[in-house]
Amino acid sequence: MAHQWRGVIREYIDRLPFQESDPIITLGEGGTPLIEAPALAKLLDVGSVHLKFEGMNPTGSFKDRGMTTAVSKAAAHGAQAVIAASTGNTSAAAAAYAVKAGMQSVVLVPAGKISWGKLSQAVAHKAQILQVRGNFDDCLRMARDLSENYPVFLVNSVNPDRLQGQKTASFEVVDVLGDAPDLHAMPLGNAGNISAYHLGYREEVEVGRIKKLPRLFGIQAAGSAPFIQGSPVAKPETIATAIRIGNPASWDLAQEAKRDTNGGFGSVTDKEILWMHRFLSQETGVFVEPSSATGAAGLYKLAKQGELPKVDRVVVTVTGHGLKDPDWALKDESGRKIKPKKVSATAQAVAEVLGLERNK
Ligand code: AN7
């Protein structure tokens, strides 16, 4: 009989702080494809590139990996309600896993700054959604305060249970490649993900499944790049709303990930993000949300500047699905709306528009 992937807790239970007898709240997250992308390898002039397509998770982003562990621990503590601050994806995941657990969810999002795909998920899963007049950093400060003083359980990545789940992405890369890549890049926002990959790869070294750590690269949006500036950004701005974060919570862990792996931080403009967003769709067949193109965009920028380390095998995590924020695909390079042509309902009309000649 075909075996169904059982979600990251059951698949990696010997590597996680769980036992089979614990409550396990899962939607079957993880086990996402690692897709070879020769077009991107050519662009970067490296041996190979694989895209870790995290948009294939149940709610469409990598957040599900950490949400299964955080909400399962919340259930073990008897929590009735979870709370999360979010730029969108965390709220979608928290809302969905809370439903699975039979809990309430409360999400704090920056007013008007999350994509409608993500907002619709939180609404669909009956989260109590509050649009805060402020940015993500304000939302996180409030969520922490509320969880300390009221009966709501915090499921942001400052909760260490989140990183436990998210580290399984490293395990999956090693499972498929049989080794660590030389370099692994991803978008960098609140810095939970890069910290979790670092944790996962370190554990792979400890258990002897890999010999050395991949160089971890975190890429930010230029208008929202505290790791490049070296200090928090008071008013972060970028079209990549998922990573519109000025005061990353896992600051020290991300610095440690960079130092320990001889990695790096980079930043790219919104224009560079959208260029790579289109490239991934058109040349690799992988449709991601704009924020998720940031890792690849950062590597391309380094390559153009001659600053990409000489490496053979590269993995790039693309963190969220294109359908989360699809409006960007419907604009051309100069921002004009793309409207597919209308034709009469005949094959001949289509052939004429396409300039096709009838078969002889
Ligand atoms: C698609 O949902 O912070 O560096 O509240 O949605 O671990 O924060 C999302 C972040 C990258 C950055 N790509 O990851 C939230 C939130 C996507 C994201 C990131 C996010 P971190």
pLDDT digits (tens, 9 = 90+) for 262-310: 999 999 999 999 999 999 999 999 999 999 999 999 999 999 999 999 9
Structure confidence at residue 274 (pLDDT): 97
> Which residue puts its alpha carbon closest to atom 6 of ligand 1?
242
Please write the tens of the pLDDT for every residue from 123-139: 999 999 999 999 999 99
For the chain, give the percent of residues with pLDDT over 90. Answer: 98
Q: What span, in angstroms and rounded, lies between the C-alpha atoms of 319 and 338? A: 25
- Closest-CA residue to 180 (of 263, 274, 241): 263
- Euclidean distance between the first and the last CA atom of the chain, given in angstroms as a whole number: 49
With a 6 Å cutoff on the Cβ, whether 115 touches ligand 1 is no
Q: Is residue 24 very low, low, confident or very high in pLDDT (cuts 50, 70, 90)?
A: very high
Identify the pLDDT of residue 152. 97
Ligand 1 centroid from CA 355, angstroms:
44
β-strand partners of 224: 221
CA distance 318 to 184: 11
Interval between CA 88 and ligand 1 midpoint (Å): 8
Whether 248 shows a pLDDT value over 90: the answer reads: yes
Strand 215-221 and strand 128-132: the pairing is unpaired
Q: If you take atom 9 of ligand 1, which residue's CA is the nearest one? A: 242
Question: How do residues 148-185 score in pLDDT, each as one tens digit?
Answer: 999 999 999 999 999 999 999 999 999 999 999 999 99
Which ligand 1 atom lies nearest to the CA of residue 91?
A: 2
- In tens, the pLDDT along 94-104 reads 999 999 999 99
pLDDT, average across residues 225-244: 97
189 lines ligand 1 (CB under 6 A): yes
Whether 1 shows a pLDDT value over 80: the answer reads no
> Using N-to-C axis directions, what is the helix angle for 192-206 and 168-177, rounded to 10°?
50
CA of 90 to the centre of ligand 1 (A): 7
Residues 275/297, Cβ–Cβ less than 8 Å: yes
Each residue's pLDDT tens digit, 145-157: 999 999 999 999 9
Give yes or no for residue 164 CB within 6 A of ligand 1: no
2 pLDDT tier (thresholds 50, 70, 90): confident
What is the pLDDT of the chain when averaged over all its residues? 97
170 lines ligand 1 (CB under 6 A): no
Residue 194's pLDDT band, with cuts at 50, 70 and 90, is very high
Per-residue pLDDT at 333: 86
Question: Does ligand 1 have an atom closer than 6 angstroms to the CB of 89?
Answer: yes
Contact partners, residue 235, CB within 8 Å, separation at least 6? 135, 246
Sign (positive or negative) of CA dihedral 83, 321, 198, 43: negative
User: In angstroms, what is the span from residue 243 Cα to ligand 1's centroid?
Assistant: 6
Mean predicted confidence (pLDDT) in 230-242: 97
State which ligand 1 atom lies nearest to the alpha carbon of 186: 11
